[in-house]
Chains A and B, each alone.
Chain A
Amino acid sequence: MTALSIDNLSLKLGGTQVLDDISLHVAEGEFVSILGPSGCGKSSLFRVLTGGVAADRGEVRVDPAARIGAGSAFAFMPQRDALMPWRRIIDNITLGLEVQGISRADARALAEPMLPEFGLAGFDRHYPHELSGGMRQRAALLRTILQGRPIQLLDEPFGALDALTRAGMQRWLERRFHAAGWTTILVTHDVREAVALSDRIYVFSPRPARVVREIRVDAPRPRLGRPMSDASRRIEEQLLDILLEQRTA
């Protein structure tokens, strides 16, 4: 079942064309990546979806069955963790619920059973600066999931992490998100990350962003934590070729 379909979406910001006739779809439970060079307008697509900017043309349709209540269909995780330094981890995690008007006690009751899975058990009373980069990122992910929205939007969630922490987080995310079947769109410029995590990948061109290719990743899972399969390797090569071609074109 299609959870989200975007048809012929165009966006201009300050006179520059940012998104040019973008069409894509995401099935329920699917993990889709948007892969493109830095600054190509991937994040702008998320801003359209979360209502930050209005598109000039095109349509965004969310499966009505997937919508809960009147709220947005999307839970958004920005590039940096955006944890509030003045809030304890538990209060950062429940931020979305608080905005939705859920009482603090109810929000905590929802969050607490999720803490162990996200490796945050025992850290809920800490402040963000007391946590490692990986833990902060998992807290930001839990804050996203906990909003209970049908579709998760992750904007380069591991961009600010060191290489080792990032590798650990990618393994964790692959296991966790596929076990849970959360419908997810991941924006990234990291080819390996996109191949390891995604069911499907849309390749965006440099600005103005167009969809230049759609690739289904059929490599066996888990893809991380063991020698890379030939299928993964082949797709990585293919994607890298497309991205580099785009650059010289």
Chain B
Amino acid sequence: MHSRYRPPRGGALLRGTPALLSVLCALLIWEAYVRVSGISPLLLPAPSQVLRQIWSSREMLWANTVPTIRATLLGFALSVSVAFILSVLLDFIPRLRRALFPVFIISQTLPLVAIAPLMVLWFGFDLTPKILLVALVTFFPMLIALADGYASTEPEVEELLRSMGASRMAVYRMARLPSSLPYFFAGLRISITYAVVAAIFAEYAGARSGLGIVILNAKNSFRPDLVLAAVAVSSAMTLCLYGVAALLQRLMIGHRCTGGAA
């Protein structure tokens, strides 16, 4: 619990340099391998070729990225809202927690490969099954993060508040909710990456457009360069969403500097 000091400003870029270098290295090795070995681009296209593919199909890729982003964000928003409301209910009503938690755990045991086509069967090719699938995948991690966050509240702080005459609601608002925020943001950063994967998977199982469909079609027409182009776009998108979550965390609780994920 000793005070820790924040790194100097502008350090973020400096700290990111090793990561950028290692990614760049991996791409260079890949590129060199493809050129030296003379492997067919139908098996393994070089990064430079994937990059060219992204540029030449940029309009098509963008048109298919938008529905994926929409499904991801809507599904994730639904999941976080439901997880938050339920977390409050479960926190106040332990009996409800005992009744519902096993159900949520079972929901996490369902294989996506089976669920995704069923969702499409039940809800059609529109946005609904994608939103539901994203929510299904990300809901439980968010709920767990919040529940663990509430449980991390220092008992002394709660005892103090009760000694001051605080109601159960006031204890929640002044101690349990703020205590849960580091856990909430850790959950947010992890879940947003699952959300993108789930959205693409849902599209893969059946959709009119989206990165999942691009990947499916490119695979069926033996275009690994296009598959990888769509993968690169989805990775970039995931990184951006992760960055937004991390930024949100910094803005909301960056000043705390105690425990939790940095």
Interface residues of A (CB under 8 A from B): 47, 50-52, 71-72, 74-76, 78-80, 82, 84-86, 95-96, 98-100, 127, 129-130, 147
Contacts and interface: CB of A to CB of B under 8 A. Distances in A.
A130 B3 contact: yes
B117 interface: no
Q: Which 9 A-B pairs have the closest CB atoms?
A: A50-B163, A76-B163, A82-B156, A99-B164, A78-B156, A85-B258, A129-B3, A96-B164, A99-B166
A85 B181 CA distance: 12
Contacts of B4: 129
A50 B159 CA distance: 9
Given A52-B162, A99-B161, A100-B164, 18 more contacts: A50-B163, A52-B159, A71-B165, A72-B164, A72-B165, A75-B163, A76-B159, A76-B163, A79-B156, A80-B154, A80-B156, A84-B175, A86-B181, A98-B174, A99-B170, A127-B256, A129-B2, A129-B258
23 contacts: A50-B162, A52-B163, A72-B163, A72-B165, A74-B163, A75-B163, A78-B160, A79-B156, A80-B156, A82-B154, A84-B157, A84-B174, A86-B253, A86-B256, A95-B161, A95-B164, A98-B174, A99-B166, A99-B174, A100-B164, A100-B165, A127-B257, A129-B258
Interface string B1-12: 111100000000
B15 interface: no
B178 A86 contact: yes
A78 B175 CA distance: 15
B58 to A, nearest CB: 44
A147 B165 CA distance: 11
B197 to A, nearest CB: 32
A147 to B, nearest CB: 7
Interface residues of B, number: 25
A160 to B, nearest CB: 10
B92 to A, nearest CB: 19
B95 interface: no
Contacts of A147: 164
B256 A82 contact: no
B255 interface: yes
A141 to B, nearest CB: 13
Interface of B: 1-4, 154, 156-157, 159-166, 170, 174-175, 178, 181, 253, 255-258
B6 to A, nearest CB: 11
A95 to B, nearest CB: 7
A14 to B, nearest CB: 16
Contact of A76 (B1, B160, B258): B160
Contacts of B161: 95, 99
A80 B156 CA distance: 7
A80 B181 CA distance: 22
B165 A82 contact: no
Contacts of B160: 76, 78, 82, 95
Specify which of B160, B253, B255 lies most central, judged by the most chain A CB atoms within 10 Å of its CB. Answer: B160
A100 B157 CA distance: 16
Contacts of B2: 129
Nearest to A78: B156
A98 B175 CA distance: 13
Contacts of B178: 84, 86
Contact of B257 (A52, A71, A74, A129): A129
B256 A51 contact: no
A47 B163 CA distance: 8
Contact of A127 (B166, B175, B255): B255
A149 B2 CA distance: 32
Given A78-B156, A99-B170, A129-B3, A85 B163 contact: no
B257 A82 contact: no
A51 B258 contact: no
B163 A51 contact: yes
Contacts of A130: 3
A158 to B, nearest CB: 15
B87 to A, nearest CB: 18
Specify which of B164, B178, B255 lies most central, judged by the most chain A CB atoms within 10 Å of its CB. Answer: B164
Contact of B256 (A52, A78, A129): A129
Contacts of A47: 159
Contacts of B257: 85, 127, 129
A147 B163 CA distance: 11
Contacts of A72: 163-165
Specify which of B4, B163, B166, B170 lies most central, judged by the most chain A CB atoms within 10 Å of its CB. Answer: B163
B180 to A, nearest CB: 11
A34 to B, nearest CB: 17
